[in-house]
Amino acid sequence: MERSLAAALHGAKWVDAGAPAQIIHDNRHPPKGIHTWADRFEDDEVELIDGMFATTPARTALDLACRYPVESAVAKIDALARATKLKMADVELLAERYAGRGGIRRARVALKLVDGGAESPRETSLRLLLIRAGFPRPQTQIPVHNEYGVLVAVLDMGWEDIKVAADYEGDHHRTPIVFNKDIRRHEEVTELGWIDVRVTSQDTEGGIIRRVQAAWDRRM
């Protein structure tokens, strides 16, 4: 039962297709391209998907949290949570079941940061950056309606009470049609009282924090 393959079978995006398969198996000499590790699992932690046995979303999330650095684990579990009906309460129960497992302390940190609203690893990284910088945990996927009740935007993350948001602008925003649409969207949310901090891959962490802090200062 391979954790990244399990995530992909559950419909999670952003799974690295080039990474070695990693399987729960006691074979210490697996074929090239496959990594194995010995571990135990219970019957309720496995299910059949398309004829293949895989760990459940909850067990997959726990494996990811235990075996990856915190930020990487959160991004992977965010994608899993977005694709499935993952309940963090179920993952927490498994964490109690395997309280002595290696990596469990790190896993508990990662699991508290999971948010299925993230639409990409970049959005996860942006959210975690804001949390590390001391901002309150932002809400994700915030709907913004105009005075007629029409949905004009869904903001990546932010704080609805003070109308400050942060949007990650990916490479897909470079097409002329999407670019023009995003200009209109930004104008509309601004007219509705939002400060929308738009972030790209060219922004530094320090620059992002300064801009978001400036937006906060304007609201305080």
* pLDDT-wise least confident of 2-16, 50-64, 193-207: 2-16
The verdict on 9 and 98 lying in the same domain is: yes
Confidence of residue 1 (pLDDT cuts 50, 70, 90): very low
Looking at 51, 78, 111, the residue that finishes a domain is 111
pLDDT at 5: 52
The verdict on 100 and 34 lying in the same domain is: yes
Domain housing 189: 121-219
The verdict on 126 and 215 lying in the same domain is: yes
Statement: residue 7 has pLDDT above 80: no
Section 194-205 average pLDDT: 96
Q: How many domains does the chain have?
A: 2
Q: Does residue 116 sit within a domain?
A: no
The verdict on 103 and 17 lying in the same domain is: yes
Mind listing the pLDDT tens digit for each residue in 76-114? Answer: 999 999 989 899 999 999 999 999 999 999 999 999 999
The verdict on 170 and 76 lying in the same domain is: no
CB atoms within 10 A of CB 54: 21
pLDDT at 155: 97
Q: Which two tokens stand for residue 129?
A: 């950056």
Of 180 and 61, which is predicted with more confidence?
Answer: 61
Q: Does residue 106 sit within a domain?
A: yes
Mind listing the pLDDT tens digit for each residue in 174-185? Answer: 677 777 888 899
pLDDT at 25: 58
Domain of 175, CATH number, reads 3.40.960.10
Section 68-72 average pLDDT: 95
pLDDT at 2: 44
The verdict on 106 and 77 lying in the same domain is: yes
Section 119-147 average pLDDT: 97
pTM score above 0.85: no
Looking at 76, 111, 146, the residue that finishes a domain is 111
pLDDT at 23: 62
Statement: residue 44 has pLDDT above 60: yes
The verdict on 35 and 92 lying in the same domain is: yes
pLDDT at 53: 80
Statement: residue 143 has pLDDT above 70: yes
Q: Does residue 105 sit within a domain?
A: yes
Question: What residues does 2 pair with on adjacent strands?
Answer: 23
